[in-house]
Structure formats: structure tokens, C-alpha cells
């Protein structure tokens, strides 16, 4: 599944931009916000972009304090985009895997094959592993894996806000149509997910799909759509 463009909304000003233009917009929008907050107590934060590795139409720009940990960032990604069954996860940064082993069944792959990289705990401060321009990856679920690509765009100062980690911008839900008609797709068949557009159906056509209703998951705004038992974040 892919779309011709991937627009999204800036949560600072409410305007909509294409994915390719959002970084440029946020540079100006964050500068204006910083000028308005001049003189107030500030905290250091990292501005990080996140996108689905194989589904790049799903993307985020977020701001997270430099003093928080990879574990905090992992939890944020789970809450926003990923959590379904408490699976394992890992960040891969400069050839090191920072892992969270939740003891779920997918830990057997590590037991059988061993780690692909040297491993460390996620209980490490961001300022100890992040640097300007750093590109790294995140994996959730070592069975039906959702892979994300992340980049540290900037380290900056901001006035404290109510949510320490906040979404600066996020893609709008991709415009996906039912394979049988022109209506928006509301269900995706997890059995047919990798067979192309035929997996995406409206409620009416999902009822007659050959794989049966047990194979369907709701269409949600996340790169984990259609995987495992994922039905969306608590915000959706």
C-alpha cells in the first residue's frame, strides 16, 4: 500500500503540509514559538523524525527531553503507534541493539539465533546516545515486525509544556479505498496484507471476503496497520 503523497498537520499552528515540506515548515514554526517564549524557563529537547521503514506514508515529528531514556521513547512509540500484545522491541544505534525483553513468545528468536548485534539496556539517557543528524532504527515485535526509521534533526531549548514528549506533526490517515468499490477502506485482511490492494475493504465487502471476518483488523493511522492484533492507539 502506498499513496502518491503523504500530507500531515503541524500541531503547533494547525496548517497542513506535504511530508517533504514539513521539516522546513517546522524549522520556521519552532523558531517563532521560541521567540514568543523568550525569557521563560527552558529545557533541552531533541527534535526527532519517525517514519515507517516500509510504509513511509506514516510519519511523525516529535520533541522529547534530552534527559529522558530510550525506554521512555520506546513507550511513547508503543502508545502512539505500536502496542498490541506486549512484544519485544529494540533500537539499533551505531551497531548496538538497545533491547526491551518483555518475556513474550517472540523472545524465542533471540534464544534460538542469538542477538544480531551487541546488546544493551534501554535504560540509557538520550543525551548519552543521541547526536545531531543521527539516523537509527526501531523494531517492535520480533515475529510480525514493525520497523521504524528515526533521525535526530535538532537539539534545542523550549519552554516546558504539559506533555514532556509531544507530537509536533503527524501524517493524515492515508486515502485508501476499498478494493471492490470507491468507498474508504475500513478493514484490512491480515491474511491478504502482503498480496496488494485486495486486502483493503469497506465494511460491506469485508463481510463477504473469502478469508472470513476473524482475519480482519481495523484500518488505523499507523505503520502497524493489519499486523498481529493491532487495533490502534488509545487516542484513535
In the chain, where the domains are located:
7-171, 176-221
pLDDT at site 2: 47
Please give the average per-residue pLDDT across 117-141, as a whole number: 95
Given a contact cutoff of 8 angstroms between Cβ atoms, the answer to whether 176 and 18 are in contact is: no
Q: Give the percent of the chain with pLDDT over 90.
A: 75
**How much is the pLDDT for 4?**
47
pLDDT band at 108 (very low <50, low <70, confident <90, very high): low
Partnered with residue 8 across adjacent β-strands are 17, 171
Q: In this predicted model, which residue has the larger pLDDT, 222 or 37?
A: 222
Residue 15's alpha-carbon distances to 9, 151, 171, in angstroms, are 6, 23, 12
Q: Evaluate if pTM is beyond 0.75.
A: yes
pLDDT of res. 158 = 87
Helices in 37-124 by DSSP H: which ranges? 70-77, 108-113
What counts of helices (H) and strands (E) characterise the chain?
5, 13
| Average pLDDT across the chain, whole number | 90
Q: What is the pLDDT of residue 110?
A: 65
pLDDT of 235 over the 70 cut: no
Distance of CA 186 to the CA centre of its chain: 20
- Asked if the model's pLDDT at residue 1 lies above 60, the reply is no
DSSP 156: E
Where is pLDDT greater, at 126 or 43? 126
Domain 7-171 maps to which CATH number in 3.20.20.70, 1.10.1240.10, 3.10.290.30, 3.40.50.2300? 3.10.290.30
- Strand residue runs (E) in the chain: 7-10, 16-18, 43-52, 59-65, 89-93, 96-100, 119-121, 135-140, 146-158, 166-171, 187-189, 200-201, 216-218
Rg over alpha carbons for the chain, rounded to the nearest Å, is: 19
Q: Is the pLDDT of residue 61 over 70?
A: yes
Q: What is the torsional sign of CA 112, 115, 121, 122? A: negative
Highest-scoring range by mean pLDDT, 82-86, 100-104, 114-118, 129-133: 129-133
pLDDT in tens, 130-186: 999 999 999 999 889 999 999 999 999 988 776 789 999 999 999 999 999 989 999
Q: Which tens digits make up the pLDDT trace of 65-96?
A: 999 999 999 999 999 999 999 999 999 999 99
- Is pLDDT at 30 greater than 70 in this prediction? yes
Count of Cβ atoms closer than 10 Å to residue 13 Cβ: 13
Q: What's the mean pLDDT in 29-53?
A: 85
Q: ∠ CA 194-196-198 to the nearest 5 degrees?
A: 110
Burial of 126 (0-12, 13-18, 19+ CB in 10 A): buried
Mean pLDDT of all residues in 47-60: 97
Amino acid at each position: 500500500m502506498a499513496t502518491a503523497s503523504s500530507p500531515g498537520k503541524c500541531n503547533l499552528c494547525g496548517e497542513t503540509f506535504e511530508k517533504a515540506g514539513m521539516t522546513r515548515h517546522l524549522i520556521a514554526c519552532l523558531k517563532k514559538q521560541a521567540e514568543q517564549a523568550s525569557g521563560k524557563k527552558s529545557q533541552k529537547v531533541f527534535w526527532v523524525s519517525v517514519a515507517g521503514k516500509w510504509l513511509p506514508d506514516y510519519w511523525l515529528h516529535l520533541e522529547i527531553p534530552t534527559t529522558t531514556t530510550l525506554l521512555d521513547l520506546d513507550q511513547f512509540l508503543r502508545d502512539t503507534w505500536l502496542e498490541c500484545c506486549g512484544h519485544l522491541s529494540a533500537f539499533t544505534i551505531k551497531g548496538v541493539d538497545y533491547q526491551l525483553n518483555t518475556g513474550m513468545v517472540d523472545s524465542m528468536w533471540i534464544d534460538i539465533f542469538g542477538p544480531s548485534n551487541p546488546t544493551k539496556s534501554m535504560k540509557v539517557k538520550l543525551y548519552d546516545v543521541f547526536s545531531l543528524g543521527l539516523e537509527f532504527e526501531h523494531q517492535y515485535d520480533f515475529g510480525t515486525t514493525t520497523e521504524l526509521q528515526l533521525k535526530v534533526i535538532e537539539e534545542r531549548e523550549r519552554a516546558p509544556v504539559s506533555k514532556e514528549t509531544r507530537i509536533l506533526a503527524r501524517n493524515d490517515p492515508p486515502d485508501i479505498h476499498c478494493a471492490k468499490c470507491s468507498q474508504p477502506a475500513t478493514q484490512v485482511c491480515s491474511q491478504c496484507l502482503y498480496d496488494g490492494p485486495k486486502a483493503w475493504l469497506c465494511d460491506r465487502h469485508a463481510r463477504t471476503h473469502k478469508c472470513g471476518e476473524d482475519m480482519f483488523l481495523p484500518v488505523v493511522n499507523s505503520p502497524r496497520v493489519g499486523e498481529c492484533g493491532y487495533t490502534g492507539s488509545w487516542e484513535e
